[in-house]
């Protein structure tokens, strides 16, 4: 915080910066694959309810804590109550874990951008392309290193601003591209070898219509945990990032409006990405394709582009380049958060910290990228999935640590400093916090209870 005491130029600047951190592979890659894995409409319904309740509460809390304490997460919690020093350390560890695999996914996107740029978009549409890429240690390792180094160099040289400017142009174009591709996905129709015809509109039905048949308590909890972990990841909440952003927000900015705008925008991008990917995977691979997991986006989209004819390779190229930018801005914000905290903890210079972090994370990214070849493991996760190294890191950070952090911070805000501590900050610019009663109710009663259930579920204690 000492080095960078500048603040956002205004509400718009702040919302755009926060949205740049929030919108990334979480929206394009994680949201669609979780929705498909958890059966479409039901996940979507639960997700939307959770964003409007927990998403809004968690984001408001993080931003208010940052603006009110003017401290990074490590010190902020401690200054609210000295017994809560451990919360700062936990929140710091989340980006530390996320960073171990974020560049790997960024590398996957980079690989597809290069494939389309070099005219191999057709080959990328083959079923085996993705698996043969990630199981090839040289190829997978190379792209992870490339993406990681790109991020580290940008943070090292402090040129994030340039990238942000670029992404302000790229983001709206990406949105329009997603919208068009989603529209095209809905118009798809395909008859498979068994003579079964599936359409994009049928796929949309699976995406949008909740199916309550065969819903058990165990399955419901599983969906709840997946949806909640997605909210944490996608909104970048409960990981210190938004606390740091809160420090930079001017006192006269209307935080309530900003929270709504960030939540809306982030959810909208995820929803559209789902509309682009889920109907198309249904059309080309049927219901079996829905359980594809992390490879979903990479398997379905090249097929969509291939079916577009002559313009397909160009649209594919544009899409993956822009998606790469969205991943880069988020990856920068993860590394930036770790860097800022390390500078404070070790009282070190930015250059030294980024150099060390760049080397350490390049090595770790290679290890995670090789988790599908040299370091292959199969671990049954409590959410019903079988995971490799990348999924394990994702599960520990988003499904285990974040509910613990949210449980503790809900107790801290709801019962120790009291909800009005946050509400006062939310109203500092003179605006009135809408749904105050909902905030109080959720932070005091609902959040501790739900987070406790999720913690037990995440650790496999509750079925």
Residues that bind ligand PFF (CB under 6 A): 21-22, 24-27, 95, 98, 233-234, 236, 239, 241, 330, 333-334, 337
Nearest to 324 by CA among 93, 16, 117, 18: 117
Which residue has the CB atom at the shortest distance from ligand PFF? 26
For residue 113, count CB atoms less than 10 angstroms from its CB and return exposed for 0-12, middle for 13-18, buried for 19 or more.
Answer: buried
Structure tokens at 327: 């991943």
- The CB-of-239 to ligand PFF minimum distance in angstroms stands at 5
SS3 379: strand
The two counts, helices (H) then strands (E), for the chain are 23, 4
- The CB-of-29 to ligand PFF minimum distance in angstroms stands at 8
SS3 441: helix
Give whichever of 106 and 419 is closer to ligand PFF, judged by the CB atom: 106
Give whichever of 240 and 414 is closer to ligand PFF, judged by the CB atom: 240
Beta carbons of 22 and 262 less than 8 angstroms apart: yes
Q: How far is CA 279 from the centre of its chain?
A: 21
SS3 380: strand
- The CB-of-93 to ligand PFF minimum distance in angstroms stands at 12
- The CB-of-301 to ligand PFF minimum distance in angstroms stands at 17
Helix (H) or strand (E) holding 458: helix 447-458
Give whichever of 243 and 334 is closer to ligand PFF, judged by the CB atom: 334
Beta carbons of 10 and 253 less than 8 angstroms apart: yes
- The CB-of-101 to ligand PFF minimum distance in angstroms stands at 11
DSSP secondary structure of 290-332: GGGGGGHHHHHHHHHHHTTGGGHHHHHHHHHHHHHHHHHHHHH
Give whichever of 27 and 285 is closer to ligand PFF, judged by the CB atom: 27
- In whole angstroms, what is the distance from residue 209 CA to residue 230 CA? 20
Beta carbons of 70 and 1 less than 8 angstroms apart: yes
- In whole angstroms, what is the distance from residue 125 CA to residue 307 CA? 9
Give whichever of 38 and 62 is closer to ligand PFF, judged by the CB atom: 62
Give whichever of 278 and 306 is closer to ligand PFF, judged by the CB atom: 278
- In whole angstroms, what is the distance from residue 331 CA to residue 149 CA? 11
Give whichever of 19 and 443 is closer to ligand PFF, judged by the CB atom: 19
Give whichever of 239 and 277 is closer to ligand PFF, judged by the CB atom: 239
Beta carbons of 211 and 282 less than 8 angstroms apart: no
Backbone angles phi, psi at 199, to 5 degrees: -115, 160
Backbone angles phi, psi at 400, to 5 degrees: -100, -55
- The CB-of-123 to ligand PFF minimum distance in angstroms stands at 27
Beta carbons of 284 and 292 less than 8 angstroms apart: no
Place of tokens 């979480």: 26
Give whichever of 394 and 425 is closer to ligand PFF, judged by the CB atom: 394
Give whichever of 53 and 330 is closer to ligand PFF, judged by the CB atom: 330
């Amino acid at each position: 915080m000492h080095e960078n005491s500048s603040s956002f130029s205004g509400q718009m600047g702040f919302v755009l910066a926060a949205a740049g951190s929030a919108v990334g592979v979480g929206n394009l890659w994680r949201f669609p694959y979780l929705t498909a894995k958890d059966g479409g409409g039901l996940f979507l319904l639960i997700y939307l309810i959770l964003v409007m309740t927990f998403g809004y509460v968690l984001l408001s809390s993080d931003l208010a804590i940052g603006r009110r304490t003017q401290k990074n997460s490590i010190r902020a919690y401690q200054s609210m109550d000295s017994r809560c020093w451990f919360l700062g350390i936990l929140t710091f560890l989340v980006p530390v874990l996320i960073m171990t695999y974020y560049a790997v996914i960024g590398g996957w996107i980079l690989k597809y951008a290069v494939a389309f740029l070099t005219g191999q978009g057709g080959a990328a549409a083959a079923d085996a392309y993705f698996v043969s890429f990630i199981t090839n240690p040289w190829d997978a390792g190379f792209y992870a290193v490339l993406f990681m180094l790109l991020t580290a160099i940008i943070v090292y040289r402090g040129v994030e601003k340039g990238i942000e400017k670029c992404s302000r142009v790229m983001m709206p174009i990406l949105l329009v591209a997603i919208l068009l591709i989603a529209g095209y996905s809905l118009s798809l129709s395909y008859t498979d070898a068994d003579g079964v015809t599936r359409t994009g509109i049928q796929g949309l039905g699976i995406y949008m219509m909740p199916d309550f048949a065969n819903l058990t308590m165990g399955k419901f909890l599983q969906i709840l945990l997946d949806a909640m972990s997605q909210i944490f990841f996608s909104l970048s909440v409960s990981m210190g990032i938004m606390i740091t952003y809160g420090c930079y927000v001017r006192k006269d900015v209307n935080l309530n409006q900003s929270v709504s705008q960030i939540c809306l925008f982030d959810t909208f991008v995820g929803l559209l990405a789902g509309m682009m990917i889920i109907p198309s995977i249904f059309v080309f691979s049927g219901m079996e394709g829905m359980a594809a997991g992390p490879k979903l986006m990479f398997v379905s989209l090249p097929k969509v582009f291939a079916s577009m004819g002559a313009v397909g390779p160009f649209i594919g190229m544009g899409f993956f380049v822009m998606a790469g930018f969205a991943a880069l801005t988020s990856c920068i914000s993860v590394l930036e958060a770790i860097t800022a905290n390390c500078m404070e903890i070790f009282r070190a210079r930015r250059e030294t910290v980024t150099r060390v972090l760049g080397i350490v994370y390049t090595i770790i990214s290679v290890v995670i990228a090789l988790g599908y070849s040299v370091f292959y493991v199969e671990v049954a996760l409590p959410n019903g999935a079988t995971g490799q190294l990348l999924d394990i890191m994702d599960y520990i950070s988003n499904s285990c640590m974040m509910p613990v952090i949210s449980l503790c911070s809900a107790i801290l805000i709801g019962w120790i400093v009291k909800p009005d501590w946050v509400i006062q900050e939310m109203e500092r610019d003179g605006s009135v916090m809408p749904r105050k009663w909902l905030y109080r109710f959720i932070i005091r009663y609902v959040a501790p209870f739900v987070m406790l259930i999720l913690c037990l579920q995440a650790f496999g204690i509750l079925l």
